[in-house]
Amino acid sequence: MRISMRKSKWAVLGFGTLSLLTLTQCFTDKQNEGQRLYVANCQSCHMEDGTGLRGLIPPLAGADYLQKNRQQLPCLIRHGAEGPMVVNGKEYNREMPGAERLAPDEITNLLNYMQTNFGNSNQRYTMQEVTLLLEPCPPHQQ
């Protein structure tokens, strides 16, 4: 009886450590995935360091837009943008293509990467939040 108790204690402890490990693993993977998605989909325009390109492409680094329009960002990424837009007091007006094929979890990782890199330390998103925010903008038929 005692022995089996002890066993299960070990089991719980072991399980706990294991899930903790997978959890951190998971976090680093997500960070990596966010970065991977950024490189694949966004870096060509917004640049490696998120500084954009002069008056053509707005910066992500230190951009007030990311905080002011937090709720709109999931749809902006999915559908892209066009028309005038003000970032850090400067007007931009060029087309950004949508990343229509990205799934909600990918968009979440991408957003969190953007919000916490390039010198940004903004609030993160949960996937539930992003899924909800994506509801008004279903992907276009491709």
Partner 1 sequence: MSNLNNKVCFLRKVFVGASLALSVGMLGGCSDSATDAEGRTLPILGERETVEREANGQTVVDTVYHQVPDFAFTDQDSQQVTQQTVAGKIYVTDFFFTSCPSICPKMKSQMLRVYEEYKDNPDVLLLSHSIDPEHDTVAVLKDFAERLGVTAAKWHFLTGEKDRIYDMANNYLVAAQEDGQADGGFTHGGHFILVDGHRRIRGVYDGTEETSVNQLIQDIPLLLNENKHAKK
Nearer to partner 1, 44 or 71 (CB): 44
Closest CA to 44 of 100, 97, 120, 104: 97
Q: Which two tokens stand for residue 107?
A: 């968009």
* Contacting range for ligand HEC; rule: CB under 6 A; set: 8-16, 23-31, 87-95, 116-124: 87-95
Site for ligand HEC in 17-56 (CB under 6 A): 41-42, 44-46
Task: Say which residues have a Cβ less than 8 Å from residue 47's Cβ, sequence separation at least 6.
Answer: 53, 57
Q: Give the residue, chosen from 34, 75, 79, 96, that forms a contact with ligand HEC under the rule CB under 6 A.
A: 96
Q: Which two tokens stand for residue 118?
A: 């390039």
Nearer to ligand HEC, 77 or 130 (CB): 77
Any contact of residue 92 with ligand HEC (CB under 6 A)? yes
* Contacting range for ligand HEC; rule: CB under 6 A; set: 4-12, 24-32, 58-66, 126-134: 58-66
Binding residues (CB under 8 A) for partner 1: these are 44-45, 47, 53-57, 94-95, 97
Closest CA to 107 of 124, 88, 82, 119: 124
Q: Give the residue, chosen from 34, 74, 79, 99, that forms a contact with ligand HEC under the rule CB under 6 A.
A: 99
Q: How far apart are CA 12 and CA 8, in angstroms?
A: 6
Any contact of residue 130 with ligand HEC (CB under 6 A)? no
Any contact of residue 82 with ligand HEC (CB under 6 A)? yes
